Homo-oligomer: A and B are copies of this chain.
Amino acid sequence: MKKIDILKKLRSSGLRPTKQRVEIAKFLFEREKTFHFTVESLNKLLTKKSISKIALATIYNTVHAFKAAGHLSEVEVRGNKTYFDTNVSNHHHFYDSETAELIDIDANDIIIQKIPKAPNGKKIKNVEVFINLKN
């Protein structure tokens, strides 16, 4: 992902491209593979990597803005930390509880044959499959 795309991504989220936001955005989006993270882990990685320290509140704010703009999604994982995902397409996950690591599964790699109908007046918004792993 190019620098110009990072700036586009920020502006399209209604975010001014400040030093901190650019740094966060580059860290999140300039990579080949999906990145799954918690705010805590992101903060640690950013602290390790960058010269300038970014306040935790700024990381929360920026991550939430990206989520609101649809550039990040939230993944549910047991425990009380919130996991985010740079893959915003409809997909599924393996979860390795040993390493607390998520692995993407492409939506096409899981086919559900039979599914119950939604209850009284409700509709199905989406279906998430979560595959727990063991050794």
Contacts and interface: CB of A to CB of B under 8 A. Distances in A.
Contacts of A81: 80
B132 A119 contact: no
Given A76-B77, A78-B76, A115 B130 contact: no
Instruction: Kindly report how many copies of this chain are found in the complex they form together.
Output: 2
Contacts of A133: 118-119, 122-125
Interface bracket on A? 35 or more
Contacts of A123: 133-135
Contacts of A127: 129-132
A105 interface: yes
Nearest to A135: B122
Nearest to A97: B125
B116 A113 contact: no
Contacts of A122: 94, 96, 133-135
Which 5 pairs of residues, A with B, have the shortest CB-CB distance? A111-B114, A113-B113, A125-B134, A125-B132, A122-B133
Interface of A: 74, 76-78, 80-82, 94, 96, 103, 105, 109-116, 118-119, 121-135
